[in-house]
Structure 1
Amino acid sequence: MGKVKYYYDPETLSYRKIQRKKRTTFKYAAMFILGSALFGFLFVFISSQYIESPKERELARELQNMELQYKLLNKRMDDAIAALENVEERDNAIYRLYFEANPIPEEQRRAGFGGINRYKKFEGYDNSQLIAETNKRLDVLEKAIVIQSKSLDEIAKLAEDKEKFLESIPAIQPVSNMDLTRMASGYGYRTDPFTKVRKFHFGMDFTAPRGTPIYATGNGVVKRADSRSTGYGKHIRIDHGYGYVSLYAHLYKYNVKVNQRVKRGDLIGFVGSTGRSEAPHLHYEIFKDDERINPINFYYGNLSAEEFDVLLRKASLENQSLD
């Protein structure tokens, strides 16, 4: 039961009981409820603005962690791009230059992606720019890696071809120096031993005793081993590929057969004096794209600088050839 309240009535000089009207009670109750609701709303609003809930704190931590991870990812991409740029520089300045291949343009390596906005799905968030830029850098990096990977595949193929080319090109003297009597005649105008007329000599003559070994000057396939070419007598022609063919003439006998594959340094025949020859010697020629060229430029494989200098001086003398 609620407390009964009285008030002093001066007219009757007595205390009278306070009678509260129902409307007044309802008004006070409504004001109380409204005040409580307003206070509750203000409390919730203030709490939501200044006081984080456990869920909000958890989400905030996740957001901070995400931002940190994106920054770390960008740092790792910086390191990856720096390493890739180093490989690209060597690719253009060393590898492709060595193998005589055109460098890959920088704009091709760093080209973006045109057309539709690939990063629209990242828009509308607090960290949209960070996420979009990170994904854009990642896409460019991935593309650059693909381009570099293909370039290295090409370099590997060029290296394989270069190795094959270097093994195939004529590069040694066909007669060993210890078996050589002398270098009788070089490439250029010489006196014909039979007509005594000055004419162009398209090969080099190496004098050596009959039966002296003759070696293939590069890897290749024997295309001819016969005496059906005027003046050459028994001779061998080796196709080295890349437009190069070497010819060995006036042989005593063969040590190879047609279509046989040979390697540089293989014994292919023996010095003789067959055909149009004045004395036992090897007449040696090199063809490039069906044109005869000076063999003096193809002895870097087994001669020292001093030996090559001596050979060059002797080959330059305009003397009499042996064929």
Structure 2
Amino acid sequence: MAKTKYRFNPESISYEKVEANFKTRIINVLKHMASSSVLAIVMVVVLFYFFGSPKERSLIRENQQLLAQYNRLNSELGKLENVLSDLEQRDDNIYRVIFEAEPIHSNIRKAGSGGINQYSYLENLDNSELVISTSKKIDQIAKSVYVQSKSYDSVEEMVKNKFEMLASIPAVMPIAIKDFRRISSGYGWRIHPIYKTRKFHDGMDFNGTIGTPIYATGDGVIVQCNSVRGYGKKVVIDHGYGYKTVYAHLNGYNVKKGQKVRRGEVIAFLGNTGSSTGPHIHYEVRKNNRTVDPINYYFNDLTADEYDSMVAYAANTGQTMD
């Protein structure tokens, strides 16, 4: 309720009530409205300046929530990278080793992570470093998972072919012996029997009587069956999976080129052809066209004790027969 105003009248020596006219009242109302508006504006400006608008505060909260989610996502991506790295290590060092497959090169696993800046469209965002870092991690993990998936597909094929592979690996001796004294030379540096010089011997020599059966040491295909200088009559079997075996100084053949053979099948007969100082068979195992020690592949033929005895005897032979 508006206050009543009085004015002192000296003539009547009394206070008289002041009656405001309509114009005065309008002016007073406008003054109150103007002062209230100015005060309201000042308060709103101060409030927005120091505390922000409701929309701004909402956006700030959303931004903080997004940052928290990005940080949690980065933490989870780090865990996924560790799990994926463990899978890659197992793949290269266990599964592929078992099946004698080459490990996947790191350049293939990390393919596509370099090159032009494909994240330039993110550089103008707030917290762009965090967003770009997270995007890179997601893309790299996706690519690595794809490569690993393809690797497991190939390993699955290897598993399906496991029995075929195991049957193909040269895993027995080419001649039936139990007396290891018939090993006339092992794999490694030996004295050449003709030139009497030190020379590397690429296989193992087994002596015996002419006509003794010679066996295929694994499933495969005959790719060579002819006489070769130095080797004499020679048979080569391609077993697949990078393996080949060589049988030399033979007396005769029991197979022909292009023929498929099984492990344990008689392919030839022991002889004394080529550069040979006595009846024997020269036997080689080649992996990826490089000779390896055949003694490491007799695991289907020998017990542990027999294998140890053969290794000890082969190490003490000093001269080859070819």
Pick the TM interval, shorter chain. Answer: 0.5 to 0.7
Residues 1:144 and 1:96: Cα distance change in structure 2 (over 3 Å): farther
Letter in 1 for 2:282: Y
SS of residue in 1 equivalent to 2:237: strand
Is 1:133 matched with 2:136? no
Q: Distance between the aligned counterparts of 1:284 and 1:117, measured in 2?
A: 61
Match of 1:284? 282
The structure with the larger Rg is 1
Q: Give the CA deviation at 1:231.
A: 10
Structure 2 unaligned regions, length at least 5: none
Letter in 1 for 2:30: A
Q: Is the deviation greater in 108-117 or in 298-307?
A: 108-117
Residues 1:101 and 1:8: Cα distance change in structure 2 (over 3 Å): closer
Alignment of 1:198-237 (within 5 A): 204-208=205-209, 210=211, 212-225=212-225, 236-237=235-236
1:210-262, Cα deviation, whole Å (9 max, x unpaired) = 5x542213443113457x679989764424565845125114x62x4431233
The counterpart of 1:266, out of the listed 260, 264, 267, is: 264
Residues 1:81 and 1:273: Cα distance change in structure 2 (over 3 Å): closer
Letter in 2 for 1:300: N
Q: Give the CA deviation at 1:135.
A: 3.1
8 A Cα contact 1:216 1:266, kept in partner: yes
Residues 1:261 and 1:281: Cα distance change in structure 2 (over 3 Å): same
Residues 1:168 and 1:246: Cα distance change in structure 2 (over 3 Å): farther
Q: Distance between the aligned counterparts of 1:137 and 1:44, measured in 2?
A: 40
Letter in 2 for 1:118: Y
Match of 2:237? 238
Q: Give the CA deviation at 1:92.
A: 8.3
SS of residue in 2 equivalent to 1:71: helix
Match of 1:32? 32
Match of 2:78? 78
SS of residue in 2 equivalent to 1:306: helix
Residues 1:305 and 1:48: Cα distance change in structure 2 (over 3 Å): same
SS of residue in 1 equivalent to 2:222: strand
Q: Is the deviation greater in 69-78 or in 15-24?
A: 15-24
Q: Give the CA deviation at 1:267.
A: 1.3
Residues 1:137 and 1:233: Cα distance change in structure 2 (over 3 Å): closer
1:283-312, Cα deviation, whole Å (9 max, x unpaired) = 3344869x998x9x3122225121232244
Is 1:69 matched with 2:69? yes
Q: Distance between the aligned counterparts of 1:292 and 1:90, measured in 2?
A: 27
With normalisation by structure 1, the TM-score equals 0.61
Q: Distance between the aligned counterparts of 1:316 and 1:34, measured in 2?
A: 118
Is 1:298 matched with 2:298? no
8 A Cα contact 1:222 1:261, kept in partner: yes
Q: Give the CA deviation at 1:75.
A: 1.5
Alignment of 1:164-203 (within 5 A): 172-178=172-178, 183=182, 185-186=184-185, 189-190=192-193
Match of 2:318? 316
Q: Give the CA deviation at 1:204.
A: 2.8
SS of residue in 2 equivalent to 1:246: strand
SS of residue in 2 equivalent to 1:316: coil
SS of residue in 2 equivalent to 1:299: helix
Is 1:307 matched with 2:310? yes
Q: Distance between the aligned counterparts of 2:174 and 2:129, measured in 1?
A: 67
Match of 2:251? 250
Cα RMSD for the two superposed structures:
5.5
SS of residue in 2 equivalent to 1:250: strand
8 A Cα contact 2:208 2:270, kept in partner: no
8 A Cα contact 1:172 1:299, kept in partner: no
Letter in 1 for 2:205: M
With normalisation by structure 2, the TM-score equals 0.61
8 A Cα contact 1:182 1:207, kept in partner: no
Structure 1 unaligned regions, length at least 5: 192-196
Q: Give the CA deviation at 1:207.
A: 1.0
Q: Give the CA deviation at 1:174.
A: 0.8
Match of 1:194? none
Size of the aligned set, in residue pairs, is 295
Letter in 1 for 2:251: H
8 A Cα contact 1:225 1:258, kept in partner: yes
Q: Distance between the aligned counterparts of 1:110 and 1:269, measured in 2?
A: 48
8 A Cα contact 2:169 2:218, kept in partner: yes
Q: Distance between the aligned counterparts of 1:217 and 1:229, measured in 2?
A: 21
Residues 1:188 and 1:102: Cα distance change in structure 2 (over 3 Å): farther
